[in-house]
Structure 1
């Protein structure tokens, strides 16, 4: 199992990313649930899961 921390470049939300190379996943993409920015595209080769760990800053949404 591989663990990484990922930050959304648009809103600043933080995520824990878990990857299992021993399991196959599905093709698709993961989007930030806060601002809908695409964070990763999946090819289905590995099982990948994201968990929101840091709420985004309200300042990121102010122009």
Structure 2
């Protein structure tokens, strides 16, 4: 068994990844449940599971104030 911590490159969510060599897995993909970023594609040789451990704080889409170059 192998344990690892994985961070989503897109949103920063944290995961615990477990891989079992003694169990066959399923061919497929795992996407981040927060932003849908592809974290890993599986070939099915080993059982791999992910658990969300750190959910990122999502900032509003328009959190940056627009620059206003008008002078008063």
1:41 matched residue in structure 2: 41
Kindly state the Cα deviation for residue 62 of structure 1 after the two structures are TM-superposed. 4.3
1:26 matched residue in structure 2: 26
CA RMSD in angstroms, aligned pairs only: 1.3
The ranges of structure 1 where at least 4 consecutive aligned residues each deviate by more than 4 angstroms after the TM superposition are none
Higher-helix-fraction structure: 1
Q: How many residues align?
A: 62
Unaligned stretches of 5+ residues in structure 1: none
Higher-strand-fraction structure: 1
Q: Rg larger in 1 or in 2?
A: 2
Unaligned stretches of 5+ residues in structure 2: 63-72
